[in-house]
Amino acid sequence: MFLMDFFKRHHTCNHEHVSIDTQYSYCPDCGELIENEWFITRCACCGIKQRAIIKNGEIIPEANFCHNCGGNEYIIEKLPKINFIDINYAVLVKTVVTEDVTEDVTQCWEEKPSSTQKLLQLFR
C-alpha cells in the first residue's frame, strides 16, 4: 500500500479557469476562493512603466535595465483594478484566500415549510 501511495501524483491546481475580470472568484476545478491581484513594475529613477514577469515566484521587470534612463532598480506597484492601458505591462497573481473576506456581506436564506406541517387545534 505504501508503494502505491509513493507513485500517486499529487495534483496542485493552477487555477487556470478562474475568471480574471473579478477581484474574487471561486476556482471551478478545486473550489478554492481565489483573489486576482495585478502588479506592474516601474523604474525607481524615472517612474516609467516596465513590462513585468514572474520568475521563480518573484515579480521582476522583463528587461534588466530601464530603456529610458538606464537604471536597474525598480518598484513593484499593486493595481487596485486593471485597465486596458496597463494590461500589456501588468502581471496577474492568483492567490488562495484563507480568511473570510466577506465580513461586510450579509446572507440570508429561507427554509421552505414542509407540506405535512399543520397547525395544532386549540380546544376550549
Residue-level pLDDT, tens digit, the chain, 124 residues: 565 666 666 668 888 888 888 888 888 888 888 899 999 999 999 989 999 999 998 999 999 888 988 889 999 999 988 888 989 999 999 988 887 655 565 556 666 666 665 666 666 6
Contacts with 116 (C-beta within 8 Å, 6 or more apart), sequence order: none
Please report where in the chains the cell 532598480 appears, as a residue.
73
For the CA atoms of 69, 74, 80, 82, the dihedral, rounded to the nearest 10 degrees, stands at 60
- Give the residue among 94, 79, 84, 87 at the shortest CA–CA distance from 18: 94
Quick check: 38 and 54 in contact, CB under 8 A? Answer: no
Q: What pLDDT is stored for residue 41 in this prediction?
A: 94
